[in-house]
Structure 1
Amino acid sequence: MPTFPESLIAQLAGLVGEANVITGGESLETLSKDFYWYSPILKEQLQDKRGDLAIRPGTVEELRAAIVLCHEARVPIVPRGAGTGNYGQCIPLFGGVVMDLTRLDRILEITTDGVLRSEPGVRLGVVEPAARQVGWELRCKPSTWVKSTLAGFLCGGSGGIGSVTWGGLAAPGTVKSVTLLTIEAEPRLV
């Protein structure tokens, strides 16, 4: 594997702040893993994988700029929520940058008809009480809902608490729409 570009570390630190760039140690190891080791097959395949560094962007603009920098440097990107999944979805197979999205954690709106608009890193443990304040609750949530992020659940989950009554994530009405930021030379919101 090629050496990680030192200049990119400095550029990313300038973008998100040095406190939000993790270049090694136990913190980087933790951010490079989920609970994949529950599976003996995945444990063998994934135990030696980790990112070269992790960053925690705090705004969509920082995230977009970080994607541009990584794309220009041809460095792999792995998005990450809280890492509560069991299947290795957030594990960087080829090194690169782990994009920890947990600072993108704002609830933008919960409408009176029960629609949530938020950033991807909001924890479901924050969403649930906020929804209850306006007379709603999450109709489906993972067993790790207190820690799980919304985007992590949407991308790595399928069902959970409430699924027997309301259906899983694919059930009509559970997810009405999603806005995504593409990972390409000129990232777009789609």
Structure 2
Amino acid sequence: MTYPIAEFCADLGDVPHATDAMTIRKKSRDQFAVSPLLRQSLAGRVADVVASPRSKDDVLTIIKAAVKHRIPLTARGGGTANYGQSVPLQGGILLDMTGLSGIVSINEGNVRALSGTCMADIDVAAREKGWEMRIHPSTRSVSSIAGFVAGGSGGMGSCQWGMLRDRGNITAMEVVSVEAEPRFVELRGRDVELVHHAYGTNAIITEVEMPTTPAWTWKEVIVAFPEFLVASRFGVQLASEPAITKKLISLQEWPVARLMTALGDIVPDGHTMVNCMIAAPTMDAFKGLVDDFGGSIVHESLEGQGFYGAPIYEFAYGHGLRQIQKSQPTYTGLQGMFPAQDLLPTIERVHAAWGGTAPLRMEVFLSQGEVVTMGSPGIVYENEAQMAAIVAKLQSFGVKVANSHTTGVREVGIKQFDDRDAVFKRSMDPHKLLNPGKLDFDDIPASDSRSSLPTQGWSFRKAG
């Protein structure tokens, strides 16, 4: 589709923007290349222009020009998403929000920041006042706060505080509509769910407020277990221990420790590793739990000071897959939610089904106050039919699989919808300009960027 880009740029005044091929190519990508399916379906999808607001006034100028010329807008933060959330499927304007950054306020128990503020910078500012973020992504050094809440579902701290969707983990958001006269709207309470994990398809986020917790000195610990199932029982029990303060519980079955080459040979052959972050004052209790389950601590260091050259959380969640792909480029995985009900038996059934032929990777965290795990067997990718068969097999064991190899909000299957969502989308984006192709409530054909994996998506208990 051809858009009047020259006319749009003329209406921007002094708002920074770029139309050179190198900038457009760089800003039109995120980390979707971790998926072999998205590498194919998103190839060649690029914007026509990159606009980089420095202020809310700049945001308004860009929106008004986009609406005037009916050009799609796709917002981007640090570009760390794994599903192509910020890839412009229909070209148009790539809205680089990283210039809209800065701390708005730090108060007792919460921090508010402009949307493009880097998560690491927020933590530095909060720690100066004795606080830290409850939850942050494995990509903290690059991810923006709005990118995290718009594209993420949880991360470091979720084993203590739950998922982002759990009540109280996102306090408020300021968003702006995309119409001729844009409106700023403050969302609080359950209304933040409307924009959380919606990939910027229904509003442009300008500010985010999130809760903080008293800052801790964190220890990175790698624990080795001879048996995966013992390691999984340990991880589930650790998540259930309220008095052991933790930020990460990440299970990696052998030989994942060797595939993550930065870890060297610290984990003994044949052992499952459990990577943890534990608050220093609770280390004695943690070590007692390790002893109870027959594990061995093979490494302990302060946060970010391990011999492996990066914080331990960069070996977990989606970042962990990137570590593996450095030595095994065809390796991939699925986002299977192992539900709290029948959790350990489900893990045992899945483990038995693959019989050690595909190592399990799992993150342990809380969802709606209960311990769950998220992960799958490791997959050396062959084709989509192979992936579909693994999805079907996992779901036959009761695992709820989200589709991390597609770009549509509903097709991924993590965000939950109710009657408010369509009303909000139509109110805030009446011209359907926001990140088109990823969320539409009208009866239209699915975008050809979406895979056909037979995933059922994640499910959560309804309140009441």
Q: CA deviation at 1:3?
A: 4.4
Q: CA deviation at 1:186?
A: 1.5
Whether 1:104 and 2:119 are equivalent positions in the alignment is no
Partner in structure 2 of residue 45 of structure 1: 41
Trace 1:155-174 onto structure 2 (pairs within 5 A): 155-174=150-169
Runs of 4+ in structure 1 off by over 6 angstroms are none
CA distance in 2, matches of 1:178, 1:3: 31
CA distance in 2, matches of 1:73, 1:135: 47
Q: CA deviation at 1:10?
A: 2.3
How far does the alpha carbon of each residue in 1:18-37 deviate from its partner, in whole angstroms, 9 at most, with x for none? xx211022221110010111
- Choose between structure 1 and 2: higher helix proportion: 1
Partner in structure 1 of residue 380 of structure 2: none
Partner in structure 2 of residue 136 of structure 1: 131
Partner in structure 1 of residue 115 of structure 2: 120
Q: CA deviation at 1:87?
A: 0.6
CA distance in 1, matches of 2:83, 2:49: 21
How far does the alpha carbon of each residue in 1:32-61 deviate from its partner, in whole angstroms, 9 at most, with x for none? 010111111111111110000101110101
Given that residues 27 and 50 in structure 2 are in contact (C-alpha distance below 8 angstroms), is that contact kept between their aligned partners in structure 1? Answer: yes
* Structure having greater relative contact order (Cα 8 Å, sep ≥ 6): 1
Structure 2 counterpart of 1:76, from 48, 72, 76:
72
Q: Secondary structure at the match of 1:180?
A: strand
CA distance in 1, matches of 2:5, 2:28: 19
Matched to 2:146, the amino acid is A
- Choose between structure 1 and 2: higher strand proportion: 2
Partner in structure 1 of residue 143 of structure 2: 148
Q: Secondary structure at the match of 1:92?
A: coil
Matched to 1:128, the amino acid is D
- CA RMSD, Structure 1 to Structure 2 (Å): 1.1
Gaps of 5+ in 1: none
Given that residues 34 and 90 in structure 1 are in contact (C-alpha distance below 8 angstroms), is that contact kept between their aligned partners in structure 2? Answer: yes
Q: TM-score, normalised by structure 1?
A: 0.93
Given that residues 77 and 98 in structure 2 are in contact (C-alpha distance below 8 angstroms), is that contact kept between their aligned partners in structure 1? Answer: yes
CA distance in 2, matches of 1:182, 1:35: 27
Q: Secondary structure at the match of 1:109?
A: strand
Number of residues of Structure 1 aligned to a counterpart in Structure 2: 185
Over the matched positions of the two proteins, sequence identity in percent amounts to: 37
CA distance in 2, matches of 1:5, 1:141: 36
Partner in structure 2 of residue 6 of structure 1: 6
Q: TM-score, normalised by structure 2?
A: 0.39
Matched to 1:2, the amino acid is T
Matched to 1:108, the amino acid is V
Q: CA deviation at 1:11?
A: 2.1
Structure 1 counterpart of 2:29, from 26, 33, 50:
33
Larger radius of gyration: 2
Relative to structure 1, the CA distance from residue 4 to residue 115 in structure 2 (aligned partners, 3 Å threshold; closer, same or farther) is same
